[in-house]
């Protein structure tokens, strides 16, 4: 991808994410990049007859220049999540080769934080990322996750969680092999194992850090006391939880705890599985294999009840010259200087739109006004199905 793409910018001619993307694609250098990533293939976005109109014109800057600290680890202000790249979460992707090119383009455009997990695929998203970052390995941060009971050879998920020390070591060796690297910049325990004391997990990570195989670590969706206990054994660099304008539970206790302990925060699903992009409505029909219809918050009735959030985003998009997705990501980044969203993308236009959120800023009064308006909207529907949700906020057993 040409370095001159970094300097390109364009203003869309009319309204919303689709108009922004159309305007971006019309820019010659970006259009060349689109062709390189074969994004003229059929879109994998859900169909949305009756989709509500979005916001007005937006200026796109396609380079991430901001940097943030997760503990002592420096990363780009926006990262890239890879979970959708295996094609089994939101529906099929164009091709594996396109996903490799997308990751390489993200790195060229200033993204340094790339998030994956052994469970994504399983294994396939790590392999895609490993192939993609070889030319730039020393300038990016590779983050993966362990903790599921996954066969290390076949990738078969044999059920439940497994953070026993010997299994962690096996998982880490597999990650290093698939990511084609000699060290992991960050690893997360994907979910707290209710059968393994967190002191055993943290002690194993401490040993692996001593061996140079891991540089930093964190926890995903943990219980609060588990965070404190883990941090006492081996300091945590980050917590990774779902956080978006439609899922704000981290604000109650997790973010204050991170601030107290000097731990960074990584937002997964920062666009609420695509809802806050403004492209999903109660009329949306998802592709076969897309997991999003299983999310209670995404039922037609709940989506209809939650549309005031989208209307708010559209209004602010008009005010700020941005898309709803960009307002969503910029709002998250404005909460704390150590918060880093990791939106996923399988299309170059979406990647460029997401990283251009860095150009959207709020004055203190604007941020207060937007947050107050958001506070007044009650979100209806759980963020995940009950069996998955039950794995969040778990406290590890006593040592």
Per residue, the 3-state secondary structure of the chain, as one string, reads CCHHHHHCCCECCCCHHHHHHHHHHHCHHHHHHHHHCCCCCCCCCCECCCCCCCCCCCECCCCCCCEEEECCEEEECCCEECHHHHCCCCCCCCCHHHHHHHHHHHHHCCCCEEECCCCCCCCHHHHHHHHHCHHHHHHCEEEEEECEEECCCCCCEEEEECCCHHHHHHHHHHHHHHHCCCCECEEEECCCCCCCCHHHHHHHHHHHHHCCCECCEEEECECHHHHHHHHHHCCCCEEEEECECCECHHHCCHHHHHHHHCCEEEEECCCHHHHHHCCCCCCCECCCCCCHHHCHHHCHHHHHHHHHHHHHHHHHHHHHCCCHHHHHHHHHHHHCCCEEECCECCCHHHHHHHHHHHHCCCCHHHHHHHHHHHHCCCCCCCCCCHHHHCCCCECCCCC
- The whole-number pLDDT of residue 150 equals 96
Q: Name the pLDDT band for 15 (thresholds 50, 70, 90).
A: very low
The residue count for the chain:
399
CA angle 332, 338, 342 (to 5 degrees): 55
- Asked, for residue 398, whether it belongs to a domain, the answer is no
Tokens encoding 89: 């979460």
What dihedral do alpha carbons 16, 19, 22, 23 form, nearest 10°? Answer: -100
Structural domain count, the chain: 1
- In 10 A of CB 50, how many CB atoms? 8
What dihedral do alpha carbons 42, 44, 46, 49 form, nearest 10°? Answer: -10
- The whole-number pLDDT of residue 55 equals 35
Q: Which residues pair with residue 68 across a beta bridge?
A: 75
Q: Scan for tokens 């236009």, then name that residue.
A: 349
- Asked, for residue 399, whether it belongs to a domain, the answer is no
- Asked, for residue 36, whether it belongs to a domain, the answer is yes
Q: What is the pLDDT of residues 62-99, one digit of tens each?
A: 799 999 999 999 999 999 999 999 999 998 999 999 99
pLDDT of residue 151 exceeding 50: yes
- The whole-number pLDDT of residue 8 equals 33
pLDDT of residue 2 exceeding 60: no
- The whole-number pLDDT of residue 109 equals 97
- The whole-number pLDDT of residue 61 equals 53
Q: Which distant-in-sequence residues (6+ apart) come within 8 Å of 153 by Cβ?
A: none
Q: Scan for tokens 């055993």, then name that residue.
A: 200
Q: Name the pLDDT band for 288 (thresholds 50, 70, 90).
A: confident
d(CA 57, CA 15): 6
- Its domain, for residue 348, covers 3-389
- The whole-number pLDDT of residue 87 equals 95
Q: Are strands 238-242 and 67-70 parallel, antiparallel or unpaired?
A: unpaired
- Asked, for residue 397, whether it belongs to a domain, the answer is no
Q: What is the mean pLDDT of residues 125-144?
A: 98
- The CA-atom distances, in angstroms, between 244 and each of 21, 298, 328 are 22, 15, 7
Q: Tell me the CATH number at 196.
A: 3.20.20.100
Q: What is the mean pLDDT of residues 259-283?
A: 97
Q: What is the mean pLDDT of residues 308-334?
A: 98
Identify whether 298 is preceded by a cis peptide bond (ω within 30 of 0).
no
Calculate the CA 349 to chain-centre distance. 16
189 backbone dihedrals φ, ψ, rounded to 5°: -75, 120
- The whole-number pLDDT of residue 32 equals 35
Q: Name the pLDDT band for 289 (thresholds 50, 70, 90).
A: confident
Q: What is the pLDDT of residues 166-221, one digit of tens each?
A: 999 999 999 999 999 999 999 999 999 999 999 999 999 999 999 999 999 999 99
Q: What is the mean pLDDT of residues 289-299?
A: 95
- Asked, for residue 395, whether it belongs to a domain, the answer is no
- The whole-number pLDDT of residue 82 equals 98
- The whole-number pLDDT of residue 129 equals 98
- The whole-number pLDDT of residue 123 equals 98
More confident residue, 381 or 56: 381
More confident residue, 9 or 253: 253
Q: What is the mean pLDDT of residues 260-279?
A: 98
Q: What is the mean pLDDT of residues 121-149?
A: 98
Q: What is the mean pLDDT of residues 288-297?
A: 94
Instruction: Answer whether 312's CB lies under 8 Å from 377's CB.
Output: yes
Residues with a known catalytic role: 120
- The whole-number pLDDT of residue 238 equals 98
Mean pLDDT for the chain?
88
pLDDT of residue 7 exceeding 50: no
- The whole-number pLDDT of residue 398 equals 96
d(CA 126, CA 304): 36
- Asked, for residue 103, whether it belongs to a domain, the answer is yes
- The CA-atom distances, in angstroms, between 280 and each of 37, 69, 307, 384 are 24, 33, 10, 17
- Asked, for residue 33, whether it belongs to a domain, the answer is yes
More confident residue, 48 or 114: 114
- The whole-number pLDDT of residue 287 equals 87
Q: What is the pLDDT of residues 16-63, one digit of tens each?
A: 555 554 455 444 334 333 333 433 232 334 543 333 333 333 344 579
Closest by Cα among 136, 173, 121 to 152: 173
- The whole-number pLDDT of residue 18 equals 52
- Asked, for residue 28, whether it belongs to a domain, the answer is yes
Could you give the percent of the chain with pLDDT greater than 90?
82
Could you give the percent of the chain with pLDDT greater than 70?
85
pLDDT of residue 362 exceeding 70: yes
pLDDT of residue 381 exceeding 70: yes
């Amino acid at each position: 991808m040409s370095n001159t793409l970094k300097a390109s910018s364009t203003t869309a001619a009319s309204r919303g994410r689709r108009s922004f993307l159309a305007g971006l694609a019309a820019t010659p250098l970006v259009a060349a990049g689109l062709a390189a990533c074969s994004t003229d293939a059929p879109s994998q976005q859900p169909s949305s007859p009756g989709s509500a109109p979005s916001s007005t014109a937006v200026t796109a800057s396609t380079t991430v220049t901001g940097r943030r600290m997760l503990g002592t680890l420096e990363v780009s202000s926006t990262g890239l999540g890879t979970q959708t790249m295996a094609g089994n979460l939101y529906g099929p992707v164009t091709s594996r080769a396109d996903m490799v090119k997308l990751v390489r383009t993200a790195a060229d455009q200033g993204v340094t934080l790339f998030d994956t997990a052994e469970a994504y695929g399983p294994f396939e998203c790590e392999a895609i990322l490993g192939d993609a970052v070889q030319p730039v390995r020393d300038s990016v941060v590779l983050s993966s996750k362990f903790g599921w009971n996954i066969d290390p050879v076949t990738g078969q998920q044999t059920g439940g969680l497994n953070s026993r020390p010997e299994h962690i070591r096996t998982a880490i060796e597999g990650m290093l092999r698939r990511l084609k690297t000699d060290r992991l910049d960050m690893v997360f325990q994907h979910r707290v194992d209710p059968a393994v004391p967190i002191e055993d997990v943290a002690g194993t990570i401490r040993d692996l850090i001593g061996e140079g195989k891991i540089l930093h670590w964190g926890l995903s969706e943990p219980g609060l006391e588990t965070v404190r206990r883990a941090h006492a054994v081996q300091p945590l660099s980050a917590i990774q939880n779902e956080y978006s304008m439609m899922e704000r539970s981290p604000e109650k206790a997790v973010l204050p705890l991170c601030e107290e302990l000097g731990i960074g925060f990584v937002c997964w699903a920062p666009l609420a599985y695509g809802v806050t992009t403004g492209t999903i409505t109660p009329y949306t029909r998802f592709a076969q294999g897309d997991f999003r219809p299983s999310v209670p918050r995404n039922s037609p009735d709940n989506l209809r009840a939650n549309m005031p959030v989208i209307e708010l985003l559209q209004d602010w998009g008009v005010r700020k010259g941005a898309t709803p997705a960009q307002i969503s990501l910029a709002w998250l980044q404005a909460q704390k200087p150590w918060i880093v969203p990791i939106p996923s993308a399988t299309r170059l236009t979406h990647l460029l739109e997401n990283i251009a959120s860095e150009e959207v800023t709020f004055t203190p009064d604007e941020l207060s006004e937007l947050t107050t308006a958001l506070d007044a909207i009650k979100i209806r529907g759980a963020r995940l199905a009950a069996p998955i949700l039950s794995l969040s906020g778990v406290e590890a057993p006593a040592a």
